[in-house]
Amino acid sequence: MAQDIDIQAHIGSLIDEEHRLRAQLQQGAISADEEHDRLRSVEVELDRCWDLLRQRRAKREFGDDPDEAQVRSERTVEGYTG
């Protein structure tokens, strides 16, 4: 199971990719459709990472094993309404 630091590093790399995609669009290196499609994928992956990190922190806070946290499906994470 990934550790918090690994998840945070992955989040950082996804944020860097978001910035690169926006810069590539501004430079005309990719089309708006390409940027949109890839950004959508990056945003979903970011949401899944943040969800996993929150699960791990909650488990730790309540005395459970954070390694029992599971990466949830896109449908679950993106469908969450609070």
Pull the structure tokens for residue 53.
Answer: 């990190």
Which string of DSSP letters, residue by residue, matches 7-53? HHHHHHHHHHHHHHHHHHHHHTSS-HHHHHHHHHHHHHHHHHHHHHH
Ranges of each domain in the chain = 4-77
pTM over 0.85: yes
> And the tokens for 20?
């690169």
pLDDT (tens digit, 9 = 90+) per residue, 7-63? 999 999 999 999 999 999 999 999 999 999 999 999 999 999 999 999 999 999 999
Contact 7, 49 (CB under 8 A): yes
- Give the CA angle between residues 45, 2, 57 to the nearest 5°: 85
